[in-house]
Amino acid sequence: MPEKEVVLTVAGLRKLEAELDYLKRVKRREIAERIKQAIEYGDISENSEYDDAKNEQAFVEGKIARLENILRNARIISDEDVGTDVVQVGSKVILEDYDEKNRIEFTIVGPHEADPIEQKISDESPVGKALLGHRVGDLVDVVVPAGTVRYRIMGISR
């Protein structure tokens, strides 16, 4: 069964590559050193430092494998690939809450680089899904846990 394609922006690709590099070059060494020190304490059958280090090693190796899989299946969206006529992955969208008249701005990204603190929302989230394919001026209804929110798309950029 083929792996699912992962859509990443160039910035998202760089961030995941940096994280993978850190885990491989820095974190692996730190954990190996912790394991070595724990073994020097003697009997590892009841050595909590050893158990903790081995558990962390398993976690880090799992994360490395997951990141390598994401990068292997990545399709990179560059700024040139992102138009400004329709909302798509990579679009920066300015929305106005139709009722509250508040303005918010999001960048639509793939799920692996979504970060609400940085105003990056996934194309698989309720808001992201609802916005895809719409144009400036469109009213978009988004079903959220609290009900339905209506947004007007005020701008689309790269």
pLDDT digits (tens, 9 = 90+) for 100-129: 889 999 999 999 999 999 999 999 999 999
Q: State the Cα–Cα distance between residues 91 and 84, nearest whole angstrom.
A: 7
Give the model confidence (pLDDT) of 124-155 as tens digits: 999 999 999 999 999 999 988 888 999 999 99
* Judgement on whether residues 53 and 31 belong to the same structural domain of the protein: yes
Burial of 77 (0-12, 13-18, 19+ CB in 10 A): buried
Burial pattern 52-73, b for ≥16 Cβ within 10 A else e, equals: ebbeebeebeeebeebeebbee
Residue-range definition of the domain harbouring residue 96: 81-157
Instruction: Give the residue from 77, 102, 120 where a domain finishes.
Output: 77
Instruction: Give the residue from 77, 101, 123 where a domain finishes.
Output: 77
CATH no. for residue 98?
3.10.50.30
Determine contact, residues 112/121, Cβ cutoff 8 Å.
Answer: no
Does residue 94 lie in a domain region? yes
**What's the rounded mean pLDDT across residues 80-102?**
90
Does residue 1 lie in a domain region? no
* Judgement on whether residues 87 and 148 belong to the same structural domain of the protein: yes
Instruction: Give the residue from 42, 77, 112 where a domain finishes.
Output: 77
Nearest CA to 92 among 81, 100, 84? 84
Judged against a pLDDT cut of 50, whether residue 1 lies above it is answered with no
The structure tokens listed for 48 are 């909590």
pTM over 0.85: no
- Residue 24: half-sphere exposure toward Cβ, Cα within 13 Å: 11
* Judgement on whether residues 100 and 152 belong to the same structural domain of the protein: yes
* Judgement on whether residues 99 and 152 belong to the same structural domain of the protein: yes
